[in-house]
Structure 1
Amino acid sequence: MLSHLSIHQFALVDQLELEVLPGMSVITGETGAGKSILLDALGLALGDRAEADCVRHGAEKAEIGATFSMNERARLWLQQRDIPADDDAIILRRIISSEGRSRGYINGRPASASDLKEIGQLLIEIHSQHAHQRLLQKETPRQLLDAYGNLQLQASEVSLVWEEWQQHARRLNRLQEESAEVKAQRQLLTYQVEELRQLAPGATELDELESEHKRLANAENMLLNGQYALAACYGDDSGELAATQLTHQAMNRLGNIDDQHPLLNEARDLLQQAKIQLEEAAHSLQRYLDLVDINPHRLQQVENRLSDLYSMARKHQIAPQTLHAHWQEQEAALAELNLSDDDLAGLQQQVNALEQEYRQLAQGLSDARRTAAARMDSEVEAHFEALALGRARFVTQIEADVSKASRHGIDQIGFIVQTNPGMPAGPLAKVASGGELARISLAIQVVTAAVCETPSLIFDEVDVGIGGGTAERVGRLLRALGQDGQVLCVTHQPQVAAQAHQHYQVSKISGDNATHTQLRKLNDKQRSEEIARMLGGVNITQQTLAHAQEMLALVQ
């Protein structure tokens, strides 16, 4: 339930705090006093679109906060999004700057407008004075019936199977009804894949071939220079002294010097190390030269293979290094186009199975809707007499038509009404007058609100166009709804206001430089005066005041 509404610097409101209690609460006031401002502000806290002109003139920002008591559906919603959940309350907050930017918060955590709207639907339901116009929209009867019958989960299952069925059916149709363009594409792919298969480029083959080609092409030069370096290190048959031999002679000469001077000893150690390193270098060179292969035949093979790979890459207009990956992609594309008859048959079986599952679920939903419609129609008609609709009849018409199947099922749903006996029944939009439409809408709202899981209900001047005894009966309906929950009603009807458990008055105060809207909760005396004003206008007589007091006394 809504427990607190805080409004700062919004429209004509400087600062306003509203404590909302369980039961039925009404908000009344002169026309233009700002009753709608309260609901507009609450709407912003619930994710409605924010405009810059909603900020009070001269203020930098407007701020609206709404505190609700926790319920299980809202608690689950918060847990799924890792938003802190207090055991007792949910606080929604919206800040709008004078430039039109807005920020939203849920329990102190930043939230988008869509998040505020989504959780708001779990906390409160608003029935506006234009709700009867919504009845004329095509989708409304289905939405109201599914909500009344608690069929949303069943309808969701139908929608999910429908989407999967349609997805598979579209794929099947695409594959069955191949165009000439697709066939030409298959022909080209077949040719390209075949030549790639014959070439069969390896994933790392190009790098390996280029490395091998470099060695083979430079083998003669590598061998000549390597042998020269080996001879320089270790010697050959030419008779010239090699580095190892010269190093050995130097070591012998130094060994003939009878002196242990540190510098001399260092020279001896370095020569010994040099000799060892030269021998190791010679051994490594020898092993390397043993691997060098002057092989013109293999060189030609490598060059031919590289030429083939580069030519194929140019033909396909790709980098040579991506040739293998391109081949695999082309193979996959061809496999998709060459879906076998067995695969098509399997896909057809999937489509048939999903269609059958959809029809069964949709028929089950249709049957459940008919059962719920019978109950709803009876409950709606039960309020007609109280709403001065006489012997009008109301029927939720459900026509199951498989040819018009959709994600919402196989039903075409509409509201049919007969306003007078002997007159033909017809669609609500064509048969009912404006006043009748508003009262029928109210009956439907009362019935559907009674079974909804939302703990708080707001009715914004839904009693427009009625008066007298009908308005009193509407007030009783709203009071009955408030017995087990919370109803907040903005009204111009004294008969409705008299039925409330709590009464708030909105008034506009104009000063020399500014205009303010204020809200106050009325005590018994003030309430009698407000209802008298609603009954008699500006000049309240003792008779009018007595009438107001009598109306209040009859409710007790």
Structure 2
Amino acid sequence: MLSHLSIRQFALVEQLELEFQHGMVVITGETGAGKSILLDALGLALGNRAEAGFVRQGAERAEVTATFQLTQAARQWLQDKELLEDHPTEEQQDVLLRRIVSNEGRSRAYINGHTCTLNELRQLAECLIDIHAQHAHQRLLQPDTARQLLDNFAGLNEMRQQVSQHFRLWQRTEQTLRQLREHSAENEAQKQLLSYQVEELRELALGEHELEELEREHKRLAGAETVLLSGQQGLVLCLGDEHSDTSAVQLAWQAIQQLQALDDEHPDLNDAKELLQQGHIQLEEAGLSLQRYLEQVDINPHRLQQVEGRLSELFSMARKHHTTPQSLYDHWQQLEQQLADISLSDDDLELLQQQAVELQQQYQQQAELLSQQRQAAAQQLDQQVAEQLQVLALGQVVLQTGITSAKAASHGIDTVELYVQTNPGMPMGPLAKVASGGELARISLAIQVVTAQSNDIGCIIFDEVDVGIGGGTAERVGRLMRTLGDQTQVMCVTHQPQVAAQAHQHFQVSKISGDQATHTHIRQLNDQQRCEEVARMLGGIDITRQTLAHAQEMLKLAH
């Protein structure tokens, strides 16, 4: 679950610290108060795209830190990435996701204080939180959504990935076969050319990082004389030699002797004496350090000649192959691969054909097993969604997950589509063509609740998914979310008082405009404040005693 959210200099928020509890959490406020800012800030911590406009005007950067209690999936992900900070006496329970955005739009991401990529941040976020946006029900009308929902519900994602892997191997082999058959007439001439090119590159025996190492060595050897000459001159100036008594060390020592010759009646000179003594010591240490370095400088004309000869050889070969010296090694490897591909004999081709058949059989076996699992899970999904539709006053609606055979693909051999019967006696029809907008929204919510219960997710966010409903239906939606909140943390942005009344924890978002700036303020409401906020949502501009009484009754019934 999301336990803490820290927001600094983000949009209209100057500084905010929020503590969240388990259960159902609602966020309410006037239209335009800035409820979206809270989700935008959380989205930033979860890896969403950063924008310079996120930074509060006048600030250098925005910073958002989200603290989550670990799910099992998140703990495993952190362990795989070696980011789990287990303590000697207790197991780590939380993970911190942090994002910083500059006013120029650049951003940095951290997991438990370690820098990470946005892709890693998003991967971890998928193990921690599930966000259902305002128009999520429209996704039900998109191709493949029904299949994804079914696989998520049944926990079949890993099996589908295995099917996808078998499909890719099979298709890759088939593609290789097609290419070999198409180019068999051209293969022999091309093979001779490749053989010649590969052979001379093999004789060159270029190491993968040899060019970089040779260039570094050449730079060191070529500049050794200059380094040695300048270093020796610096050493004489610092420490002197048998022909010089005016080195920096000697001059510093003479200055010290001159000042020490003065009596103690000049205490103001003590700082100068101390600095000279420190300088004398540092000059000696610098000279010794320089002397040690110069002893390691290697002047080796023979080795320099060898390096230059090898570099000339590499540059010449690169020109011959119309590539750069830096790309010569990769070019060699590509030619080796091309030669290996083209060198397949008739026996190899037959072997590859047999391999393609075996891969197809393996794919078909896995895909059929996946299809069987989907068939079994579809009945369970339909049954559980029906129970939730009953709660949402759609008891007459029947949802059916239809599975039909399809052409082999990376996701399997099934087409999954949702069918619905909105009234008894009516025929089943595709969800997109039969359900009304209001029915579609509630069907989507029922599916989201069912699939959320089957996932190891610690926090589920519903962003105004109750738009377009009201009255008793809104109350049923609120009760459903509260029930779901008994199992996992549910956060809901809502305009419905019936939904807000069901919450375990209630936050209000408001916008405060001053002479110089506008701030978005978010506060947790106590019982009295909750009553006033629900009354506001019920009554409009003027809140009457009757409205307050109604709000109090709603809260009492909810709890």
TM normalised by structure 2 equals 0.73
Q: What's the CA shift for 1:191? A: 9.1
The letter of the residue matching 1:124 is I
Corresponding residue for 1:490?
A: 493
Say whether the 8 Å CA contact 2:497–2:538 is kept in structure 1: yes
Q: What's the CA shift for 1:65? A: 0.6
Tell me how far apart the structure 2 counterparts of residues 24 and 156 of structure 1 sit (CA, whole Å). Answer: 34
1:383 alignment partner, SS class: helix
| Percentage of pairs with the same residue | 59
1:484 alignment partner, SS class: coil
1:9 alignment partner, SS class: strand
Say whether the 8 Å CA contact 2:130–2:459 is kept in structure 1: yes
User: How is 1:382-401 mapped onto 2 (pairs within 5 angstroms)?
Assistant: 382-401=387-406
Q: Please, which of 343, 354, 360 is the counterpart of residue 349 of structure 1?
A: 354
Number of aligned residue pairs: give it.
Answer: 434
The letter of the residue matching 1:162 is F
Q: Please, which of 183, 186, 199 is the counterpart of residue 185 of structure 2?
A: 183
Q: Please, which of 499, 509, 514 is the counterpart of residue 511 of structure 1?
A: 514
Corresponding residue for 1:51?
A: 51
> Are residues 346 and 512 of structure 1, via their aligned partners in 2, closer, same or farther at CA, if it must alter by over 3 Å?
same
Q: Please, which of 526, 541, 544 is the counterpart of residue 541 of structure 1?
A: 544
Say whether the 8 Å CA contact 2:72–2:456 is kept in structure 1: no
Say whether the 8 Å CA contact 1:189–1:330 is kept in structure 2: no
User: How is 1:119-138 mapped onto 2 (pairs within 5 angstroms)?
Assistant: 119-138=124-143
The letter of the residue matching 1:488 is M
Q: What's the CA shift for 1:91? A: 0.5
Q: Please, which of 362, 370, 376 is the counterpart of residue 375 of structure 2?
A: 370
> Are residues 358 and 547 of structure 1, via their aligned partners in 2, closer, same or farther at CA, if it must alter by over 3 Å?
same
Tell me how far apart the structure 2 counterparts of residues 506 and 189 of structure 1 sit (CA, whole Å). Answer: 72
Tell me how far apart the structure 2 counterparts of residues 327 and 124 of structure 1 sit (CA, whole Å). Answer: 47
Tell me how far apart the structure 1 counterparts of residues 514 and 499 of structure 2 sit (CA, whole Å). Answer: 32
> Are residues 166 and 469 of structure 1, via their aligned partners in 2, closer, same or farther at CA, if it must alter by over 3 Å?
same
Q: Please, which of 99, 105, 118 is the counterpart of residue 100 of structure 1?
A: 105
Q: Deviations over 1:393-440 (max 9, x none)?
A: 111111122xx1111000111111122233333222222121111111
Q: What's the CA shift for 1:188? A: 6.0
Say whether the 8 Å CA contact 1:366–1:400 is kept in structure 2: no
Return 83-92 or 540-549, whichever deviates more.
83-92
Q: Deviations over 1:293-335 (max 9, x none)?
A: xxxxxxxxxxxxxxxxxxxx99xx789xxxxxx9999999667
Tell me how far apart the structure 2 counterparts of residues 330 and 99 of structure 1 sit (CA, whole Å). Answer: 45
Tell me how far apart the structure 1 counterparts of residues 201 and 506 of structure 2 sit (CA, whole Å). Answer: 85
Say whether the 8 Å CA contact 1:60–1:98 is kept in structure 2: yes
1:7 alignment partner, SS class: strand
Where in structure 1 are there 5+ consecutive unaligned residues?
Answer: 205-312, 320-325
Query: Which structure has the larger Rg?
Result: 1
Tell me how far apart the structure 2 counterparts of residues 369 and 201 of structure 1 sit (CA, whole Å). Answer: 53
Tell me how far apart the structure 2 counterparts of residues 525 and 474 of structure 1 sit (CA, whole Å). Answer: 24
1:27 to 2:27 alignment: yes
> Are residues 59 and 329 of structure 1, via their aligned partners in 2, closer, same or farther at CA, if it must alter by over 3 Å?
closer
The letter of the residue matching 2:59 is A
1:385 alignment partner, SS class: helix
> Are residues 125 and 360 of structure 1, via their aligned partners in 2, closer, same or farther at CA, if it must alter by over 3 Å?
same
Q: What's the CA shift for 1:61? A: 1.0
Q: What's the CA shift for 1:341? A: 2.6
> Are residues 24 and 184 of structure 1, via their aligned partners in 2, closer, same or farther at CA, if it must alter by over 3 Å?
closer
Q: Deviations over 1:165-193 (max 9, x none)?
A: 11111112222233xxx524514645997
Q: Deviations over 1:235-284 (max 9, x none)?
A: xxxxxxxxxxxxxxxxxxxxxxxxxxxxxxxxxxxxxxxxxxxxxxxxxx
1:173 to 2:175 alignment: no
Tell me how far apart the structure 2 counterparts of residues 202 and 151 of structure 1 sit (CA, whole Å). Answer: 48
Q: Please, which of 413, 416, 421 is the counterpart of residue 413 of structure 1?
A: 416
Q: What's the CA shift for 1:16? A: 1.1
Cα RMSD, aligned residues only: 2.9
Say whether the 8 Å CA contact 1:193–1:327 is kept in structure 2: no
Corresponding residue for 2:144?
A: 139
Corresponding residue for 1:463?
A: 466
1:12 to 2:12 alignment: yes
Q: What's the CA shift for 1:378? A: 1.2
The letter of the residue matching 2:142 is Q
> Are residues 30 and 342 of structure 1, via their aligned partners in 2, closer, same or farther at CA, if it must alter by over 3 Å?
same
Say whether the 8 Å CA contact 2:386–2:395 is kept in structure 1: no
Q: What's the CA shift for 1:84? A: 4.5
> Are residues 335 and 371 of structure 1, via their aligned partners in 2, closer, same or farther at CA, if it must alter by over 3 Å?
closer
Tell me how far apart the structure 2 counterparts of residues 492 and 541 of structure 1 sit (CA, whole Å). Answer: 19
1:476 to 2:479 alignment: yes
Tell me how far apart the structure 2 counterparts of residues 456 and 69 of structure 1 sit (CA, whole Å). Answer: 9
Q: What's the CA shift for 1:203? A: 5.5
Tell me how far apart the structure 2 counterparts of residues 72 and 430 of structure 1 sit (CA, whole Å). Answer: 40
Corresponding residue for 1:423?
A: 426
Q: What's the CA shift for 1:115? A: 1.4
Q: What's the CA shift for 1:339? A: 2.7
Q: Deviating runs (4+, > 3 A) in structure 1? A: 187-194, 200-204, 326-338
Tell me how far apart the structure 2 counterparts of residues 201 and 52 of structure 1 sit (CA, whole Å). Answer: 51
